[in-house]
Amino acid sequence: MLIKPHGSNALNSLFVEDVNDRNQAIEDASKLPCLNINSAAAANLVMLGAGYFNPLTGFMNLLDAMSVCKSLHTTDGLFWPVPIINVINQKPSFSPGSRIALLDPNVDGHQIMATMDVSSVEEISDEQLRIMSGEIFGTNDSDHPGVATFNALGKYLIAGEVQVLSLSYFQADFPDTFRTAGQIRSEISQRGWQTVVAFQTRNPMHRAHEELCRMAMERLSADGLVVHMLLGKLKSGDIPASVRDECIRVMVDSYFPENSVMVTGYGFDMLYAGPREAILHAIFRQNMGATHLIVGRDHAGVGDYYGAFEAQEIFLQRVPEGALDIEIFSADHTAFSKKLGRVVMMNEVVEHTADDFVLLSGTRVREMLSNGVAPPKEFSRPEVAKVLMDFYQIEDA
């Protein structure tokens, strides 16, 4: 028996699965007023269409958005950590009651991505924007990449239910990796897994990540692991999704037992919202059928904006009992211990100083890889290092 989706007994995917129905809906939508949406709204549509944002049926209005920001609940009581909104720069010509077509900003030709039944068009005040940004990201610092992106979206909030007609570029660009929540639930069921650990990543997986997943599986007596990588937009300088995908696959194929790991991905833009985003990660991992989510140090963080364990603490402090069925596997930083000759959770070993661990900064790792030098085997598997060296040497050429 799979874990129930969040907020409902059955998964509510908003994507029109039947090809004939979808083609007819696209033809009908071509006659509607069109709205060019931004990448953040498009990412929300992919997640709504793929069932990850179950049980939402569309974009929130301003009242719900503010309620979620302040109380982590919609006005009708649904537990939800961040507003799922469609915001634009200019006041639209259409009004509430209109049906419109939403155009994909991330594909050539800006194809129709969804239809939307507009329930409200509202202007966000500067004060409301400041409150939302501060609550979501814990800061209004414009140097925070999530704050900068959020504040640039616009001032007009378009709310209403949607019918999703395209999952953007993800199915075409990542046919072996992109999966909907329903597809992952189906595969988990086919494999007969009951206890399922999810690992969120926006980076290649090195030894520390690999061993963290293995620790979680062993301690939870898990049947399987779902490595669930973000395939959408990151901040400048991050490694492209295709390279991360290759790194993760070569690591799984080389170092995990056969049929113990599913390598999958989802189409969303990174928010860098730290604790709030960790809760969102938990919700959509529950929707895809995972029973546990690994939450490590500075989960979904960026820079020094969040405390090392804030993303774990929020589950104790602000998630009401019974609000989520998925459980959190809390983890400290993992690293290779020179004394013990294996990767350990750093808070679980005694008589260790920083010099007793193999620790490398991201900057140092990039320098090594760019120069064709593999990091120590205690830090990175040689197969993973080779993929990254090839990428950096092409990028830096």
Burial pattern 154-172, b for ≥16 Cβ within 10 A else e, equals bbbbbbbebbbbbbbbbee
Type of residue at 212: L
Cα 88 to Cα 197: distance, rounded to the nearest angstrom: 37
CB 65 within 8 A of CB 85: yes
According to the model, what pLDDT value does residue 396 have? 73
The domain spans of the chain are 19-168, 176-266+270-395
Q: Which residues of the chain have pLDDT under 50?
A: none
Among 85, 86, 111, residue whose Cα is nearest residue 165? 111
pLDDT of residue 366: 86
Phi-psi domain of 158 (left: phi exceeds 0; alpha: psi -120 through 50; beta: other): beta
pLDDT at 394: 82
176-266+270-395 CATH pick, 3.40.50.620, 3.40.50.720, 3.40.190.10, 2.60.40.10: 3.40.50.620
Task: Identify which of 58, 33, 34, 62 has the alpha carbon closest to the alpha carbon of residue 44.
Answer: 58
Cα gap 326→11, rounded to integer Å:
15
Listed as own residue / partner, the contacts of 366-373 with beta carbons closer than 8 Å and 24 or more positions apart are: 366/392, 370/396
Q: Give the class (CATH, top level) of 19-168.
A: alpha beta
Active site residues: 202-203
How far apart, in whole angstroms, are the C-alpha atoms of residue 31 and residue 393? Answer: 48
Give the SS3 label for residue 263: strand
Angle at 259 between CA 257 and CA 264, to 5 degrees: 110
Please give the DSSP secondary-structure letter assigned to residue 227: E
SS3 353: coil
Secondary structure (DSSP) of 284-302: HHHHTT-SEEEE-TTTT--
CB distance 125 to 65 below 8 Å: no
The predicted-structure confidence for 38-59, as pLDDT tens digits, reads as follows 999 999 999 999 999 999 999 9
